[in-house]
């Protein structure tokens, strides 16, 4: 499981002209899933994101988590995070999990993050053509891969 975490002042997801998710002050999380991902990956990644200290304290030091600042989150599925670009110029997405595996893992991740944050997490729509807007705060962008925990 791979996540691109962006600290945002605001973010939204629009599908066919309708805004389906919108937050102020929080995290936009782009989530990629592979066949080998498990419940252990979900729990580890959700806990890591919930406790990641990337929000500024009163001294301007990144020392607070999304929980500490009562921030919000949007999770967007993004199979392109597992693009392979070694051959030619057309990316291959063969490593990304197919929907029958990815959708349940994606939904479980969202539920786990809601538990870890003690609040509702907004989402895009799996497999939809989404327009994602954000104002990246900092900019702060962190990439986490559960296969590289150590």
Is residue 22 within 8 Å of residue 9, measured between CB atoms? no
With respect to residue 130, please indicate whether it lies within any of the assigned structural domains: yes
pLDDT value of residue 149: 79
* pTM for this entry: 0.95
Active site residues: 78-80
| pLDDT at residue 150 tops 80 | no
Overall average pLDDT of the 106-113 stretch: 98
* Within-domain flag for 148: no
Is residue 70 pLDDT above 80, yes or no?
Answer: yes
Work out the mean pLDDT of the chain and round it to a whole number: 96
Residue 81 confidence (pLDDT): 95
Count how many domains the chain has: 1
Q: Is residue 149 domain-resident?
A: no
Average pLDDT over residues 78-103: 94
Which tens digit of pLDDT belongs to each residue from 114-149?
999 999 999 999 999 999 999 999 999 999 999 997
Domain of 122?
2-142
Residue 51 within any structural domain of the chain: yes
Calculate what percentage of the chain has a pLDDT beyond 70.
99
> What CATH number has the domain bearing residue 68?
3.50.80.10
Would the pLDDT of 34 be above 80? yes
At 35, the pLDDT band (50, 70, 90 cuts) reads very high
pLDDT above 80 (res 47): yes
Identify whether 150 is part of a domain: no
């Amino acid at each position: 499981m791979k996540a691109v975490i962006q600290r945002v002042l605001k973010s939204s997801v629009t599908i066919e002209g309708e805004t389906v998710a919108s937050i102020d002050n929080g995290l936009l999380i782009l989530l990629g899933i592979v066949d080998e991902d498990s419940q252990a990956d979900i729990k580890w990644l959700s806990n890591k994101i919930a406790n990641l200290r990337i929000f500024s304290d009163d001294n301007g030091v990144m020392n607070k988590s999304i929980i500490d600042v009562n921030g919000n989150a949007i999770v967007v599925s993004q199979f392109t995070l597992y693009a392979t670009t070694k051959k030619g110029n057309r990316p291959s997405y063969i490593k990304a999990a197919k929907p029958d595996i990815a959708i349940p893992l994606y939904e479980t991740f969202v539920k786990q993050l809601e538990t870890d944050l003690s609040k509702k997490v907004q989402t895009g729509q799996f497999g939809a053509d989404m327009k994602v807007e954000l104002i990246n705060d900092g900019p702060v962008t962190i990439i986490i891969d559960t296969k590289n925990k150590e």
